[in-house]
Structure 1
Amino acid sequence: MPFVFDQTEIEWPDDESDPPPPRADQFVYLPAPEYGGQHEPVRFSLDVPPEPPAPESVPFPRPSLWNRLRGRKPSAAQRAPAVAALHDARAAHAAFVRQRLLAAAVPALGELGVRQIYCRYDGGNDEGFAWLDSATLRDGTRIDREVLVEQLVAHKLLDRLIARGVTRRYDAMSEHKQVASFMHDWLCTEFAVMLLGSGYGTGEHVLYGAFTVDFDAGTVVDDPGADPVTRNREIAR
């Protein structure tokens, strides 16, 4: 799981400016359950479930005309079943979107000989980020993210994503930029959520880390020896 620097007990400057960035040796590596993530290895498949109803279709209890005129709203107990149903509907929709995405992207990566991708993440203070670092081919060759993006553009990944309903073509973005955004941000973020939980980065702390996605094994595994590489949070050297 992530390397974490706890900010809850640090002393803030009297002038209310930000404290200096933490050093790498001040971070502590937390096991998955302690951070709120999953036990490793996290496993995934390419199975796509039937598309569920939109969360917006979940009905909520409405007050009677008399209660509306008097400004009365349904009680928490009356709303509880609908709130639970909405939570379940959102979870089902998120799972469908994730599986549809994986079913479109992973085979394309496999056709290019990609066995693993290595993603990094950072965040804290209610923000979490993830991005692609590199890929490893089945012959052991390691390629950087820009080379992989170029290959995916040539392999028409964007057309596959559009055909699957994952995304659409944006006229204001080049195909290269759209594929790069998908790989750097969207795909790695989905795997980060599988590993760390949807709320990773929430709370008074700074975190960083990295993980490996193995497409042959269908697993996501955190790297306990990840270097302190960040994009969105500063670490003192």
Structure 2
Amino acid sequence: MADKNKNVTTQSSDKEIEDFYARMSSLPTLQPKGTKGRLIFALDATASREPAWDRACKIQSDMFSETEALGGLEVQMAWYRGFANFRTTPWLSSSQELIGYMTSVRCMGGQTQIENILDHALDEASKGTINALVFVGDCVEEDVDRLCGLAGKMGLMGIPAFIFQEGDEPFASKAFRQIAELSGGAHCRFDLSSAQQLRDLLAAVAVYAAGGRKALHDFSKSRGGEVLRIARQVK
């Protein structure tokens, strides 16, 4: 739960966006043809994130719509809030299913539980392929060394974490960058005024999870804008 001024505008710099897409484009293609990609969509549901939660409910549908032609996407939502309240959903294959869960969640004050999210991703990966973990949050209130250790294990298991940070709290930024790097993923900041940017980035990660680098390259051609920068990085 972050104590920060929500009126401060924080958008990712051009270099951050370039670095994010460059990292994505360098990842291997892990998804076998003809099978659905699997993505864990994890969110901080503590009180500080209530405005952003409502926005995320509205933009998550692109993760499914942009991957239908690639064989589809299975998403498992995970979230934490309150005191030791960590929940997950079954694997979902439609936007309607996901929005049903998201709209039933109410944000509640509490400490971050990022360790639970990383532990859960590792546990799910022991049962089957996980193509990516997406985490949307604004702060870190845990032992960063411990989180980095788990992120390193994710990297060894081929589970890249794509972390979208709301705001620019310095300690969180440093921790999120380290977690993303150790897992083989990427970190990018956003704010409530950059909903379209977050929509495009989430869709790009979903397309990667469903179809790998080639699908990401094709997606960038049709989407344009910031996503088009992916094409310049893909080899």
TM-score, with length taken from structure 2: 0.24
Report which of the two structures shows the higher radius of gyration computed on alpha carbons.
Answer: 1
TM-score, with length taken from structure 1: 0.24
